[in-house]
Every structure is written in structure tokens, then in C-alpha cells.
A and B are shown apart, each in its own frame.
Chain A
Amino acid sequence: MSFWSKLDGLTTRVAIVVCGASLVVMMGAVVANVIGRIFFALPIYGTVEIVSLGGVFLISFAVGYTERKQSHIVIRILFSRFPQRLQSFFTTVFLFLSLGVIALLAWGGFWIGLEDATTPGATTYVLHLNKAPFRFAWVLGCIILFGFLFRHLLIALNQVRKK
């Protein structure tokens, strides 16, 4: 097994584990809070933030996994009628553009994360957690997504060359 295949497998597993753990934490926090609030008048402090921040990890890693499975929503109504060669060409161009978009999102997230990390008081309202690690989790998710897009670009380029 090549290094890249191992990296691909490892990244996919990590993404699923992080997403799964986030989902369980979000669900657990919500249920505990509802039960605590309704039956014992004891809501869990900061549930809204726990769920929101759990969502950051879940979604950041989920977008990469979705690309890994090539499941991002695409409309193929016209595309599927193009000749095979043209389809490969468009796929390659769009993967290039997608890489640009994701690089921009990652760079923007990193820039804001850095600002949060260096600005005193850039914390959440209730739990007073620094927002920077969560911003960087999003950046990491973008990097994973970028990696999978790049892999798909290489495959697409290879197909174009073969044709």
C-alpha cells in the first residue's frame, strides 16, 4: 500500500471518528440538558455552545468526507449530455476552481483564527472558551477537503491525458 493510500485511509477514518464523536456529544448534551431542565430544574450550563462548537467539528470534517465519497451536490442535466472528453475537461477545470475556493475559505478561516488567538476576549459568551481552536478546526477541515479535491484533480488529469 502506497503512502498516499495509507494517508487517504487514515484521514477518512479520523474524519469519521471526529464527526461521530461530535454527533454523540451534541446529542448527549441536548438530551442531558432537556432532562435536567424539565425534571430537575437543572439545565446544563452552556449547552447551546457545546452543541454549536460540536457542530463546528462535525461539519468541518464532514465536508471533506463528502468530497472523499464524491458526493457534493452536482447537477448533471446538461453535463451528462456532453461528450466524454468535454466532461473530463470541465471536471478538471471545476476541480481547479474548487481548489481555489477552498484555499480561500481556509486562508480566511486561518486569518480570523489567528486574530482570535491574539486578541484578548475573543471567547464564547457563556463558557468563555477561546474561539481560535474552533476556527482552526474549520481550517483543518478545509485542508482535508483540499487534499481530497487535489487527489480527484490528479485522477481527472490522468484521465484527460489517457484520452
Chain B
Amino acid sequence: MSSFTIGVIGILVVLLLLFWGFPIGFSMALVGYVGVWYLVNPTAAFHVVATEPFNAISSYDFQVIPLFLLAASICLSAGLGRSLLRLAYNLVGRLPGGLAMSTIGACGLFAAISSSSIATAVTIGTAAIPEMRSYKYDSALATGCVAAGGTLGILIPPSGIFIIYGIITETSIAELFVAGIIPGIILTLMFMSLIYIRARLKPQIGPPGPATSLKEKLVAFGECAEIMLLILLVLIGIIVGWFTPTEAGGIAAFGSIVVTLIRRRLSWQGFKDAIVDTVLNTGMIFMVLIGALIMNTFIAMSTIPMELAEIVTSFGLPPVLVVGLIICVYLVLGCLIDTMSMILLTIPIFFPVVTGLGFDPIWFGVIIVLVTEIAMITPPIGMNVYVISGVAKDVPMEVIFKGILPFVVVEIAFVILLITFPQLALFLPGLMK
């Protein structure tokens, strides 16, 4: 059997184990170990499991993940999501669908401090969904906009997916973060426009809220002023090179503690909860990362990435079509596998193909994050949908999926826009060079 065939069998076994309910990190580690054993020898396999986990956990770049998780958990504990929602509501709440638009806006703002889509959806959803329902908003719109808005958490920097993509492809995380800003803003505006148009056409799905005075607007802004400054500091700091992404994570965590302490919103219990939450999520993410690194060693040894790149090149397909096919693979896989595992399992295979065709790795990173966003809201895995169904327990899952559908269409349209105009993602990173 050729190395390529063994690699393909390994990937299929991982998928099989995943669907049977074997924890993702453990299954990738097991298959990676057995694969290297088979392809090389037991000593090499043992060396991989002895060294790769420590390399992962002692990587300076990887430490950005727990630091940003801590920042988001502190904000979550201190209820900052509610303040951001109030600010967004004061700005656009009086428009048709205003509360849903404010929810998207608040998600966009919270995304700038959180690296996780789920954290964004939970934080904003907990405050926004009851509010929207009290204003008689359509349940599908109310839950759908939170689930879709939550996905902004992984596009607007800091983003957990950008960090992982950057590390496994050796692409600059800072440039990836910066590349996500313009697409993040455009997608936020596209989501808001979608809600506005739908609410104009069908006013009963999102009635406008009462107008707010300038004083109310200023008070709402004052409540969030420090956290907005912190968000700006983190983003500008990364863009102008004051600090690395890991340092930005530390600044964000420390800044969120200071801000919430000044505001007297962080109790000792809240701090402890934030630590516990961070530890739990760190363990969850790193077990998958460790398994993926072992698996990726096996995939690299199986020569799948190189051979696949050669096969694709030999077909002579137009590069855009190849990217389109890869996106289709992600859309299908995203319906079945957890997003982080999908990225870790597939990027080592597809990245050489895409860069070999001459595409920019930063641009491809943004495309991958967008496709991942879609995966997070498509059935049956769509993690954000499950999170939202936990917040709005009486709303059936199919209603949430129905509410999400228009947002998925917008996201797909935006992916096409980004393929047509790569500069939307590459303009800001270009300024850093």
C-alpha cells in the first residue's frame, strides 16, 4: 500500500471514530500514532507522541488562546455584553428591526474582545433574546440574528480560528487579525442591512423600539467607554506593531480586569468563575490541538498534501474553481464536524494546494474563517444554534435554523464578494508590510 493510501485510510478512520463519539483529540492522537508506526517505525511514532504535545503546550504563540479566553470570560462574568447591547440599541434601536440590528452591532463589538463565536453568542444572546421577545420580535429573527451575529466572534480579531490557522500554516497571526477587520465590519453591516430590509418589508417581525435621547446615548456610551478604548488599544497595538498577538491577549485580559474592577462589576466570585471557565475551554481546545499535531505529522509523512497538490495541478482546473471546490468540501464537512477539528484536519492538506495555485495565505485564512462561520450555523452540527437553543429553551431548533437561513445566504454572498475582491481582506495587512 502506498503512503498516500495509508494517509487516506487514516483520515477515514478518524472521521469514523469521530462520528461514533470518540473524543476528537484522543482519536486524532491515536490514529496519528498508529499511522506513523505503520509508515515509519514504532520508535518514530513514540518520538512523535513524546515531543509533539510538549511542543504544543510550551509554544509561546499558542498562549494567545488562553489569554484571550480569559479576557472574554472576565467580560462575560462582569456582564459587559449587556452594556454593549444597550449602546448599540441606543444608536439603532428606533429603526425597523432595530433591536435585532443592535444585537448584531453588539456581537461585532464583543467579538473585538472575544476570540470565540460561542462566547459571543452566549454573552449577547443571554441579554438580547429576552429583550427582543418582550418587544414581540419574531422568534426566528431573534434567535437567528444572535446565532449569526455570534459568528462575527471568529472573524473580527482576536479570533481563535485565525490563531490556529496562523500557527499550523506559519502565517503571521497579526496580519491575519488585521485582515479580518474590514471583512468583519462589512459582514456586520450586511447582516444589519438584511435585518433592516426584512423588517421594512414585514414590520411585524421586528417592530421599531422607542427613540432615545442624546443624553441616554451618551450615558450608554459612557458605560462602555473603557472597554471600547481597550478594544481600540488591542487592535491598534497589533496593527502598528506595539505588541505581538500573545501580548495583545495579555493586555486584553489585564485591561478587562482593570476596567471591570473600576466599574465595580467584577466580584471575587466572578473572577474565580472566569478562571474556571478559561481553564475548561483551554483544556478542551488544547486536547484537540495536541491530537491534531500528532495526526498532522502522520498526514505530512503520508505525502497526501504534496500528492494532492500535484493531482490538482495536473488537472489544469482554473484556480478559482479549485478554491470553490475546497469551499464546498468545507461547507459539507462543516455540517458534520466540529469547526476547530475540521480546520486542524484539513488545512495541512488544502493549504499547499491553495498556495501552490498562487493564492495569498492571508486571504485564504479569511475565506476559511468565513466558511467556518457558515459551518457554525448550519445543521446538524451548527454549534451556535445549540448554544442559542440553550438560551431560548422554548424556541424549537427548526425555528432557529429557519431564522438563520437568510444570514447563511448573506455569508455565502460575502464569500463570493471576497473571492472577487481579495483586497477587502488584503488591504490592511498590506499597510503593515
Could you list which residues of chain A lie within 8 angstroms of chain B, going by C-beta atoms?
A: 15-16, 19-20, 23, 26-31, 33-34, 38, 48, 51-56, 58-67, 69, 71-79, 87, 90-91, 94, 97-98, 100-102, 104-105, 107-109, 111-112, 134-135, 138
Determine whether B381 belongs to the interface, using a CB cutoff of 8 Å to chain A. Answer: yes
A30–B67 contact, CB under 8 A? yes
Cα distance A78–B21 in the bound complex, in angstroms: 8
| Interface hit among B176-184, B206-214, B282-290, B351-359 | B282-290
B26–A19 contact, CB under 8 A? no
Report 17 cross-chain contacts, Cβ distance below 8 Å, ordered by A residue. A20-B275, A31-B254, A51-B246, A52-B59, A59-B282, A60-B57, A62-B286, A66-B282, A71-B283, A73-B338, A73-B341, A74-B24, A75-B24, A78-B21, A94-B23, A97-B30, A108-B53
Write the B249-274 contact mask toward A (1 if CB under 8 angstroms, else 0): 11101100000000000000000100
Cα distance A12–B178 in the bound complex, in angstroms: 39
A1 to nearest B CB, angstroms?
Answer: 22
Residue of B nearest to A33 (CB): B247
Instruction: Give the number of residues in B that approach A within 8 Å (Cβ atoms).
Output: 58
A75–B381 contact, CB under 8 A? yes
A108–B50 contact, CB under 8 A? yes
A51–B275 contact, CB under 8 A? no
A59–B286 contact, CB under 8 A? yes
Contacts of B251 in A (CB 8 A): 30-31, 34
Cα distance A105–B250 in the bound complex, in angstroms: 29
Cα distance A102–B242 in the bound complex, in angstroms: 40
Cα distance A94–B284 in the bound complex, in angstroms: 17
Cα distance A101–B337 in the bound complex, in angstroms: 22
A65–B250 contact, CB under 8 A? no
B13 to nearest A CB, angstroms?
Answer: 12
B284–A16 contact, CB under 8 A? no
A151 to nearest B CB, angstroms?
Answer: 15
Chain B contact residues: over half helix, strand or loop, or mixed? helix
Determine whether B49 belongs to the interface, using a CB cutoff of 8 Å to chain A. Answer: yes
Cα distance A16–B279 in the bound complex, in angstroms: 7
Residue of A nearest to B56 (CB): A59
Cα distance A91–B23 in the bound complex, in angstroms: 10
Cα distance A49–B30 in the bound complex, in angstroms: 30
Cα distance A53–B57 in the bound complex, in angstroms: 8
Task: Given A72-B23, A74-B24, verify A23-B275 contact (CB < 8 Å).
Answer: yes
Write the B278-301 contact mask toward A (1 if CB under 8 angstroms, else 0): 111011101110100000000000
Write the B1-33 contact mask toward A (1 if CB under 8 angstroms, else 0): 000000000000000001111111110011001
Cα distance A23–B278 in the bound complex, in angstroms: 9
B419 to nearest A CB, angstroms?
Answer: 29
Residue of B nearest to A135 (CB): B54
Determine whether B60 belongs to the interface, using a CB cutoff of 8 Å to chain A. Answer: yes
Cα distance A163–B242 in the bound complex, in angstroms: 61
Which residues, 45 to 68 on B, are CB-close (under 8 Å) to A? 46-47, 49-51, 53-54, 56-60, 62-63, 66-67
Contacts of A138 in B (CB 8 A): 53-54, 57
- State the 9 A-B residue pairs at the shortest beta-carbon distance, nearest first: A30-B250, A66-B283, A108-B50, A79-B21, A62-B283, A59-B57, A19-B279, A72-B23, A55-B63
Write the B376-407 contact mask toward A (1 if CB under 8 angstroms, else 0): 00001100000000000000000000000000
Cα distance A46–B343 in the bound complex, in angstroms: 32
